[in-house]
Copies of this chain bind each other. A is one copy, B any other.
Amino acid sequence: MPRQRDDTVYEETQATIKAIARQQMAEDGTAAISLRGIGRSMDMTAPALYRYYPTRDDLITALIVDGFNGLADALEAADAALDTQPLPERLFGVLVAYRQWAIVHRVDFQLIYGNPIPGFAAPREVTVPAVIRTFVPVVRLMEMALQSGALVPKPPYDAIPAAIEQHEQALIAEGGYPISALAYHLTMIGWTQVHGIIVLEMYEHLGPNVGDVDQFYEAAIRALLTSMGTRW
């Protein structure tokens, strides 16, 4: 609607709105995003915000996209920071960074991977590519480990059910990634394991059962990578 003389102040206002929304979430949970509350915090009335986001769901969608990108950035940064390490440790380190980001950015993680709002669900055409970006660093390291012999797939992790391999292969071809189906598949398994621990931890279900979640996480991930055939 706007976009004429001063684009930057418009975008700055959008950024301010998102920042305050994030702050509200951090204080009172993902569902606490309130347009009227945001308005109050920046000396504006609620309807004025509609000049910047046509609806509350659009604001939330914007926050979700930011969240995915933040996670992807963190993983890429961890990957880059560990580039002198041997491949298995690098892969492990990126997975540790994954959980680290989730814990530090608690509500963002809940927002992007949880059940943020009433009937609201972010449009898949925006989330699916965003999700893919978050495990590109992982799947790439996995592929490198496979090719370099740092990971020699060991039964039962040396095979993929036919129907799934076909689907994964199609996705890889579609995206044009230089990746084997096995690297992709092992990443999916690792991803689900990582995610399960983080989610249970986040909602206070895991801590009471294992005590030190840090140690549990690292042990579980190392065990999984080992059982896949990682040579440390």
Chain A residues in the interface with B (C-beta under 8 A): 28-32, 110, 113-119, 121, 124, 127-128, 131, 155-157, 160-161, 163-164, 166-168, 171, 188-189, 191-197, 199-200, 203-206, 208-212, 215-216, 219-220, 222-223, 226-227
The A interface, classified by DSSP as helix, strand, loop or mixed, is: helix
28 contacts between A and B (CB under 8 A): A29-B118, A31-B117, A31-B119, A32-B118, A113-B199, A113-B203, A115-B115, A115-B203, A124-B204, A127-B205, A156-B226, A156-B227, A157-B223, A161-B219, A163-B211, A164-B211, A164-B215, A164-B219, A167-B212, A168-B210, A171-B209, A188-B216, A189-B223, A191-B200, A192-B193, A192-B197, A195-B199, A199-B199
| Nearest chain B residue, comparing its CB with the CB of A31 | B118
